[in-house]
Amino acid sequence: MTNKTPTFKQLLKNPVHLLAFGFGSGLAKKGPGTAGTLMAVPIYYGLFQMGENVYLTSLVIISFVGIWICGKTADDIGVHDHGGIVWDEIAGFLLTMLWVSFSWLNVLLGFIYFRVFDILKPWPINLLDRHVKGGFGIMVDDILAGLMAALCLYLTNQFIL
């Protein structure tokens, strides 16, 4: 597969690509990053139910393995940070939700905060996005967006909600 968006059938044949494309959510014609973040919601809900240690361990694994998953997929399809690679959005959203209790309001606010930081890429996210390459580069800007969104969500919970 070189320099083109895979089909869902092709994703099913390659588990690494299937993960990188967020179980197919990254194939969305419009807003694949938003679709990937939406895919993160049920993952978040399931991990949250398993307790703090499982959640944190899973987040670390998802983030570190994501460097390889995203880098391998980008190399295989010949496009660095292809818009359909959304594993980084999944990790970023899970990080956003780390320091708050579960509520659907927190899920909604976390979703909005994360998407805003991921789309607008304020400094220093934009700096990392432009200058860091490979799988680490694909992941790091979304991890930082997740951290910034997490801080906003935490502060919202502390001072507004």
Domain edges within the chain: 36-159
Structure tokens at 45: 């809900």
* Nearest Cα to Cα of residue 104 among 44, 33, 25, 50: 44
Structure tokens at 81: 């940070």
Alpha-carbon gap, residue 136 to 30, rounded angstroms = 25
Per-residue pLDDT of the chain (161 residues; tens, 9 = 90+): 444 788 889 999 999 999 999 999 999 999 999 999 999 999 999 999 999 999 999 999 999 999 999 999 999 999 888 999 999 999 999 999 999 999 999 999 999 999 999 999 999 999 998 999 999 999 999 999 999 999 999 999 999 97
Collapse the DSSP code of 82 into the 3-class scheme (helix H, G, I; strand E, B; otherwise coil) and give the result: coil
The predicted pLDDT at position 80 comes to 85
The predicted pLDDT at position 4 comes to 79
Alpha-carbon gap, residue 90 to 95, rounded angstroms = 9
Alpha-carbon gap, residue 25 to 10, rounded angstroms = 14
* Nearest Cα to Cα of residue 36 among 82, 75, 4: 82
Alpha-carbon gap, residue 123 to 25, rounded angstroms = 28
* Nearest Cα to Cα of residue 85 among 36, 153, 31: 36
The predicted pLDDT at position 123 comes to 94
The predicted pLDDT at position 30 comes to 95
The predicted pLDDT at position 158 comes to 95
